[in-house]
């Protein structure tokens, strides 16, 4: 016979009933509606961030993520400081996003070098922002162009690589300082930006210049003009709506038996070659002009 006292004692010795597991809590939304996501590498935390965004921002972020992945198939991802970051292995992060109450902020860490640069300025001269509000007309082609250009430039580097200290003493995506892009990388960006015959023409001309003079130095002058130098300026590579213009600084002093020069013929020093859509350049003659320009610059340097 079991007494009430014994029954009570037995009940206290029984294993507690297992509790049903709680469902995973949704990420907390911080001020402005930005999801709080733990730092992590890979696509999963980025998708968790996007899934937690409220309303129209979720749809927009999903679209931006798809464009970035389509434009840069080798892209790497992470979430840091509650912001999704996109980068290229070995180059650093080139773009990130962050949600605010009335808009989604897209940050290009080298945005000042993009053409045209994104409209939002930053306290960091290199960084540019793109604010997208509900109902804004979104130019997908321009955004994809920015992404393509940015992916080819040096990115913002976080852990494991030395980077300049960010402003205000805090190394975050919105204030990060970073290495200046080289002239060659800026020229890469210009070619990528010109997604038509002009970009292909400029890329081909660049290859011919390097083939003619392997020691040529690429520079970037006058706020956006590719320049090739060896002992001084050889030529520039300007791009206009209807032409790619190659201006030789001392073209008037160069022999031009193939009559490549067809512009700026009235000057005392310069001569230019205007290449229009559908036109072909005599590549052999062009390389001879480059070699002649190098010889002219170096011979004058020796006389000094």
Q: Which two tokens stand for residue 233?
A: 């300026």
Task: Render pLDDT for 95-126 as a digit per residue (tens, 0 to 9).
Answer: 999 999 999 999 999 888 899 999 998 888 88
Cis, peptide link before residue 299, omega less than 30° from 0 = no
230 and 263 in a single domain? The answer is yes
Q: Which distant-in-sequence residues (6+ apart) come within 8 Å of 157 by Cβ?
A: 92, 93, 163, 178, 179
pLDDT tens track for 184-196: 988 998 898 888 9
Question: 279-292, pLDDT tens digit by residue?
Answer: 999 999 999 999 99
User: Each residue of 137-183: pLDDT tens digit?
Assistant: 999 999 999 999 999 888 777 543 323 333 333 445 544 445 567 89
User: Do 173 and 204 reside in the same domain of the chain?
Assistant: no
pLDDT score, position 195: 81
**Residue 254, phi then psi, degrees to nearest 5:** -100, 140
**Within-domain flag for 6:** no
- Helix (H), strand (E) counts: the chain: 7, 11
208 and 289 in a single domain? The answer is: yes
pLDDT-derived band at 31 (thresholds 50, 70, 90) equals: confident
**Into how many domains does the chain fold?**
2
**Which range has the top average pLDDT, 6-10, 191-195, 250-254?**
250-254
**Rounded CA separation 253/234 (Å):** 12
pLDDT at 85 (0 to 100): 96
Do 48 and 164 lie in one domain? The reply is yes
Q: How many CA atoms lie within 13 A of 28 on its CB side?
A: 4
Domain span holding position 122: 40-181
Non-local CB neighbours of 61 within 8 Å, separated by 6+ positions: 49, 50, 53, 84, 97, 99, 104
User: 59 and 109: one domain?
Assistant: yes
CATH of the domain at 219: 3.90.1150.200
Helix (H) or strand (E) holding 247: strand 244-248
Q: Are residues 84 and 216 in the same domain?
A: no
Helix or strand or coil: residue 74? coil
Give a yes or no: residue 233 inside a domain: yes
Q: Is residue 51 located within the same domain as residue 133?
A: yes
Stretch (H or E) spanning 61: helix 55-71
> Do both 103 and 202 map to the same domain?
no
Same domain membership, residue 287 and residue 177:
no
pTM for the structure as a whole: 0.51
In-domain check, residue 24: no
């Amino acid at each position: 016979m079991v007494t009430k006292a014994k029954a009570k004692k037995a009940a206290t010795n029984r294993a507690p009933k297992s509790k049903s597991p709680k469902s995973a809590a949704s990420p907390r939304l911080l001020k402005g509606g930005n999801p709080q996501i733990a730092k992590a590498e890979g696509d999963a935390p980025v998708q968790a961030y996007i899934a937690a965004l409220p309303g129209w921002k979720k749809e927009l972020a999903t679209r931006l993520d798809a464009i970035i992945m389509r434009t840069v198939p080798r892209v790497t991802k992470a979430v840091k400081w509650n912001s999704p970051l996109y980068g290229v292995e070995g180059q650093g992060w080139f773009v990130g996003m962050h949600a605010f109450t009335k808009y989604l902020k897209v940050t290009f860490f080298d945005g000042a070098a993009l053409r045209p640069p994104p409209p939002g300025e930053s306290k960091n001269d290199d960084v540019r922002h793109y604010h997208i509000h509900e109902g804004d007309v979104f130019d997908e082609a321009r955004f994809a162009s920015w992404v393509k250009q940015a992916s080819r430039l040096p990115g913002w580097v976080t852990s494991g690589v030395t980077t300049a200290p960010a402003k205000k003493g805090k190394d975050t995506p919105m204030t990060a300082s970073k290495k200046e892009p080289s002239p060659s990388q800026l020229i890469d960006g210009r070619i990528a930006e010109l997604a038509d015959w002009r970009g292909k023409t400029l890329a081909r001309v660049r290859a011919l210049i390097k083939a003619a003079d392997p020691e040529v130095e690429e520079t970037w002058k006058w706020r956006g003009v590719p320049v090739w130098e060896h002992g001084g300026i050889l030529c520039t590579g300007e791009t206009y709506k209807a032409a790619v213009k190659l201006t030789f600084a001392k073209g008037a002093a160069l022999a031009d038996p193939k009559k490549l020069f067809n512009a700026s013929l009235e000057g005392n020093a310069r001569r230019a070659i205007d290449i229009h859509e559908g036109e072909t350049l005599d590549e052999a003659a062009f390389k001879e002009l480059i070699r002649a320009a190098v010889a002219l610059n170096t011979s004058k340097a020796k006389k000094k």
